[in-house]
Amino acid sequence: MKPAEVVDRWLAAINLHDVDGLTALMADDLLFVDSLGNRVNGAATMKGGWQAYFAMCPDYWVRADTVVADGNTLLLTGDAGGTIDGVAWKIPSAWKAVVSNGRLREWHVFADNKPVHDILARRS
């Protein structure tokens, strides 16, 4: 699979909340970096992370409007959104994907998640 195809399937799996599909696209040593710089290593750990995120935000979605590729590295810009605790949110987002051997090796999120953090802060 070409890198762009892997990323297209990745985005589709996110929007379908298909954790098994996401896991199948991850390299075993996947590096995930969230918008705060927190790093998570490994497909097995990320599988649980996606399950928890979809439970917290049951209608989470992403949309990439622009994709620029340079070999195995792709940069995407668009939006992400969903509903947490009955409160809808939508934020501009960007992502960096690195694909190797038909699997996602790195996924970096760049976004101002203040709306999400504000919703979660109300839980306390």
Q: Are 87 and 108 in contact (CB under 8 A)?
A: no
Cα first-last separation, the chain: 45
pLDDT digits (tens, 9 = 90+) for 72-83: 999 999 999 999
Contact 11, 27 (CB under 8 A): no
Contact (Cβ atoms closer than 8 angstroms) between residue 111 and residue 94 = yes
Query: For 46-73, what is the mean pLDDT?
Result: 97
**pLDDT, averaged across the chain:** 97
Tell me the per-residue pLDDT of 94-111, one tens digit each, with 9 for 90 and over.
999 999 999 999 999 999
Which pLDDT value is given to residue 79?
A: 98
72 Cα distance to chain centroid: 17
- CB crowding 72-104: b at 16 or more within 10 Å, else e: eebbbeeebbbebeeeebeeebbbebbbeeebb
Q: What is the set of domains in the chain, with CATH numbers? A: 3-121 (3.10.450.50)
pLDDT the model gives residue 80 = 98
* 3, 4, 9, 53, 115 from 73: Cα distances, Å: 8, 9, 15, 25, 29
